[in-house]
């Protein structure tokens, strides 16, 4: 493959959407997103990360100092982003569930209660990346917030809400997949 600077991608615009598990995912990289998908809003420009982490086992044999066979026994993937916008929906997403209720007798005071043990909620996620005329969407049909929440309250910096989603397998098809209109992905003829 020859070098081609037109294949270099920069995430000039990114958005993250969350929805209940089972919500219809966008059909392609540019289709309108169903209103059931809620955008999380602003997040820091350097925090959006995607990682896969396959796990392998090795077979060792007496006749070799190197493994004689390696096989994959598990897979994992995570999405993380530091949210700048505080809202009831974002708090519930970051803590993996819970509820927000109005405090009785005060029309403008609210209480957030985190989820109980065993009460974490699963969500679907869609990450949209745009680089000029090229679009990517990462679809995650089922994920769960699996980390604790650590927020720093600094005087001269916004307090961030760390969204950390682990991909879960399900009967919804692929555990995750990408959609794109990038011509570099066209199958070779």
- The backbone torsions φ and ψ at residue 184, rounded to the nearest 5 degrees and listed phi first, read -65, -15
Tens of pLDDT, residue by residue over 40-90, are 999 999 999 999 999 999 999 999 999 999 999 999 999 999 999 999 999
C-alpha 68/C-alpha 144 separation (Å) is: 36
Average pLDDT over residues 3-26: 92
Contact residues for 84 (Cβ-Cβ < 8 A; gap 6+):
41, 42, 43, 44, 158, 160, 161
Q: Is 173 left (phi over 0), alpha (psi -120 to 50) or beta?
A: left
Q: Is 74 helix (H, G, I), strand (E, B) or coil?
A: strand
Q: What is the rounded distance in angstroms from the CA atom of residue 13 to the CA atom of residue 22?
A: 26
| DSSP assignment letter at 43 | B
pLDDT of 172 reads 66
3-state secondary structure of 86: coil
Residue 18 and residue 171: Cα distance in Å, rounded? 19
Q: Which two tokens stand for residue 107?
A: 């029309």
pLDDT number for residue 1: 59
Average pLDDT of the chain is: 93
Are the C-beta atoms of 144 and 18 separated by less than 8 Å?
Answer: no
CA separation for the pair 182, 7 (Å, rounded): 9
pTM: 0.90
CA angle 146, 173, 69 (to 5 degrees): 75
- pLDDT computed for residue 62 by the predictor: 94
Kindly report the three-state secondary structure assignment for every residue of 89-145: HHHHHHCCCCEEEECCCCCCCEEEECCCCCCCCEEEEEEEEEECCEEEEEEEEEEEE
Token digits of residue 7? 């294949």
Task: Report the alpha-carbon distance of residue 29 to residue 134 in Å, rounded.
Answer: 9
| Residue 101 predicted with pLDDT over 80 | yes
């Amino acid at each position: 493959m020859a070098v081609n600077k037109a294949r270099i991608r920069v995430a000039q615009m990114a958005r993250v959407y969350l929805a209940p598990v089972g919500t219809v995912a966008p059909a392609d990289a540019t289709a309108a997103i169903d209103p059931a998908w809620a955008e999380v809003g602003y997040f820091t420009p350097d925090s959006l990360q995607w990682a896969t982490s396959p796990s392998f086992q090795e077979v060792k044999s007496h006749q070799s100092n190197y493994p004689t066979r390696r096989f994959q026994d598990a897979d994992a993937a995570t999405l993380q982003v530091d949210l700048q916008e505080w809202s009831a929906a974002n708090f519930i997403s970051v803590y993996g569930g819970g509820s927000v209720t109005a405090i009785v007798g005060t029309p403008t005071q609210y209480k957030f209660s985190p989820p109980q043990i065993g009460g974490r909620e699963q969500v679907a996620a869609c990450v949209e990346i745009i680089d000029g005329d090229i679009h990517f969407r990462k679809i995650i049909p089922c994920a769960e917030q699996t980390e604790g929440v650590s927020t720093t309250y600094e005087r001269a910096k916004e307090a961030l809400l760390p969204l950390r989603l682990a991909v879960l397998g399900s009967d919804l098809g692929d555990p995750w997949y990408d959609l794109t209109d990038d011509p570099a992905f066209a199958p070779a003829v």
